[in-house]
């Protein structure tokens, strides 16, 4: 089940990435010859319209093969206005960036789903849940109570509530709450929760759900925030401030399984973060990645003419070989971490 969930998530992100290229190509009138999920030998293939859709053996990526994306080749029969290499630089740049942009869009949508349907803990000092057989329940605290103060200390948000409770383990607290317009005072003595080792009374925050537009806005903000954090982390790795670490397909499957066991919210959030990482990774100026195609297009715009297709294709081929070598290496490291090798 863990492998299935992990492959499903990775598959969805790969399909979204290639769909970004596919739709951008279609929007610019480019003929897409094949839309493939996976790499290597073909497991299943079917022609629909002018595009062949295929599923391949190795679940490590995918591609949208367009007429003219490798220069002059066997698809020279395709009219020039349908070829990638004959389109203006801006159109080709949009097609190349379409995959990463789709990954960022998926991240926004995944975060939005969490905000709209699942909700997130509210910062308001409002009790959203009361655990049975805990001090709060015994003292008569109820869902919907708004905490005003704890042992004389006013609270303004849920963080204040947690801070005051954790700071007074096994000490009797006087909690003042507002309920249906009335002010009530109760006596509660926190106890240590075994899993966290912290003083708790058995209450949780209220859950806040957002409207559709509000969820999209929050999803965008979360995507921007995580993107900045990942870029800063990559920068620290490149400069040697922190050790360079990563995970390959096997490590990713293990992590997805671990996160899935903690709940749907964490799984959706983790999937959104992976989607952001996919988008950023493909924007790196590394041969065979979308970022390198954008670099070649920028060079073409500066020099006024494209680099010879043979030279560009050779650079991408070398980059692909190096990426596959790196993939093998990082997969081996994943196996070592799992004590398989």
Predicted confidence at residue 57, as pLDDT, reads 84
- Specify the residue for token string 């990713």: 252
Digit-coded pLDDT (tens) for 277-293: 899 989 988 887 899 98
Predicted pLDDT of residue 148:
95
pTM, 2 dp: 0.79
* pLDDT on residue 37: 87
- Is the Cβ–Cβ distance between 246 and 281 less than 8 Å? no
The pLDDT, as a whole number, for residue 92 is 93
**Which residues does the chain have with pLDDT short of 50?**
none
Domain 127-208 superfamily per CATH: PDZ domain (2.30.42.10)
Annotated catalytic residue within 18, 70, 222, 312: 18
Say what the pLDDT of residue 339 is: 62
pLDDT at 305: 86
Query: How many CB atoms lie under 10 A from the CB of residue 231?
Result: 12
Nearest to 329 by CA among 251, 253, 277, 256: 251
**In terms of Cα–Cα distance, which of 286, 293, 316, 277 is closest to 97?**
293
Active site residue 50: no
Residue entry with tokens 């969820």: 215
pLDDT at 177: 94
Domain boundaries, the chain: 2-119+215-337, 127-208
Taking CA atoms, 5 is separated from 10, 152, 239, 270, in Å, by 9, 49, 35, 12
DSSP classification of residue 193: -
Q: With contact defined as beta carbons under 8 Å apart, do 63 and 36 qualify?
A: yes
Residues 108 and 218: beta-carbon distance below 8 Å? no
Q: How far apart are CA 261 and CA 264, in angstroms?
A: 8
């Amino acid at each position: 089940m863990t492998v299935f969930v992990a492959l499903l998530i990775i598959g969805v992100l790969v399909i979204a990435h290639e769909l970004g290229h596919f739709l951008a190509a279609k929007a610019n009138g480019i003929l897409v010859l094949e839309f493939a999920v996976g790499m290597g030998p073909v497991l299943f293939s079917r022609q629909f319209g002018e595009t062949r859709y295929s599923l391949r053996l190795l679940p490590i990526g995918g591609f949208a093969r367009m007429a003219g994306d490798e220069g002059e080749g066997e698809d020279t029969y395709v009219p020039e206005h349908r070829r990638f290499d004959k389109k203006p630089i801006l159109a080709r740049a949009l097609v190349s960036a379409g995959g990463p942009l789709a990954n960022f869009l998926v991240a926004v949508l995944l975060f939005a789903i969490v905000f709209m349907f699942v909700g997130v803990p509210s910062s308001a000092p409002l009790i959203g849940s009361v655990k049975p057989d805990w001090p709060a329940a015994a003292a008569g605290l109820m869902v919907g109570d708004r905490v005003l103060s704890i042992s004389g200390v006013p609270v303004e948000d849920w963080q204040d509530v947690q801070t005051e409770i954790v700071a007074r383990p096994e000490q009797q607290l006087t909690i003042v709450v507002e309920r249906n317009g009335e002010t009530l005072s109760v006596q509660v003595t926190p106890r240590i929760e075994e899993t966290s080792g912290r003083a708790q009374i058995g209450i949780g925050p209220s859950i806040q759900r957002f409207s559709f537009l509000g969820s999209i806005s929050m999803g965008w903000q979360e995507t921007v925030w995580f993107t900045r954090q990942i870029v800063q982390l990559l920068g620290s790795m490149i400069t040697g401030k922190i050790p360079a670490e990563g995970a390959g397909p096997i490590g990713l499957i293990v992590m997805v399984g671990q996160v899935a066991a903690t709940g749907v919210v964490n799984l959706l959030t983790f999937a959104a973060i992976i989607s952001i990482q996919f988008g950023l990774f493909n924007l790196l100026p590394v041969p065979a990645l979308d970022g390198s195609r954008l670099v070649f297009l920028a060079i073409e715009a500066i020099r006024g003419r494209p680099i010879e297709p043979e030279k560009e294709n050779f650079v991408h081929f070398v980059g692909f070989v190096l990426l596959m070598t790196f993939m093998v290496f990082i997969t081996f490291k994943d196996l070592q971490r799992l004590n398989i090798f």
